[in-house]
């Protein structure tokens, strides 16, 4: 089920900060009332599509930060594996230079709570709890969370499909435009383009001029 319009599931988990510092306790609570959050899940460290996305978020990090948005990555790897990848040079398949937090969801519960876990636990015929129905990693889920901790946007890609980082920025801009001006943002809206009043006349005027 979609989390849009609902409270983002909180978590308390290890993470790597600033590309080198492991902390045992990282939570969304620290951002409530202060910053919006762009939380994204990716399948696994030391893989193929994932580093392109993680580095693309880093390349746009200033754009998110100037909009007051904290970027956070999360996978089912441990904090130690995150650290190893973060300290591996790009020319050797690493993501050296990434500064935003990477959360370690070793128990898979964060991915499960956000509905992005590929597979689930079940009991087999011997009453043993096993993981089945998927590889046990996170799909490429992206969640935009407002300052009150409410999910305002979510998007989930299957494992081979890399996401568009500029689209995440567009979503942030659209939300900010709505909050500031009260207008709604039509299809393909971008910052600087016309939005419209959420009324029949507003829609009619917009369609007549576009």
What are the residue numbers of the active site?
A: 50
**DSSP letters spanning 13-70:** EEEEETTTEEEEEEEGGGGTTT-EEEEEE-S-SS-SHHHHHHHHHHHTHHHHHHTTEE
The 21-27 sheet, strands edge to edge: 21-27, 12-17, 102-104, 69-75, 36-41, 140-145, 151-157
């Amino acid at each position: 089920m979609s989390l849009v319009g609902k409270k983002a599931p909180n978590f308390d988990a290890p993470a790597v900060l600033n590309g080198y510092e492991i902390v045992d306790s990282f939570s969304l609570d620290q951002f409530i009332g202060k910053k919006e959050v762009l939380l994204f899940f990716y399948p696994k460290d030391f893989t193929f599509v994932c580093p392109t996305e993680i580095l693309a978020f880093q390349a746009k990090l200033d754009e998110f930060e100037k909009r007051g948005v904290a970027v956070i990555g999360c996978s089912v790897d441990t904090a130690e594996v995150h650290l190893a990848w973060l300290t591996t040079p790009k020319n050797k398949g690493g993501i050296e230079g990434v500064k935003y937090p990477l959360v370690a969801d070793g128990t898979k519960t964060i991915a499960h709570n956000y509905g992005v876990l590929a597979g689930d636990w079940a009991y087999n015929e011997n009453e043993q709890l096993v993981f089945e129905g998927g590889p046990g990693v996170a799909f490429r889920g992206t969640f935009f969370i407002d300052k009150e901790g409410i999910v305002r946007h979510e998007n989930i890609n299957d494992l081979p499909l890399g996401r568009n980082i500029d689209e995440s920025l567009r979503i942030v801009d659209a939300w900010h435009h709505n909050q500031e001006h009260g207008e709604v943002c039509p299809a393909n809206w971008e910052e600087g383009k016309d939005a419209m009043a959420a009324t029949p006349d507003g829609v009619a005027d917009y369609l007549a001029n576009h």
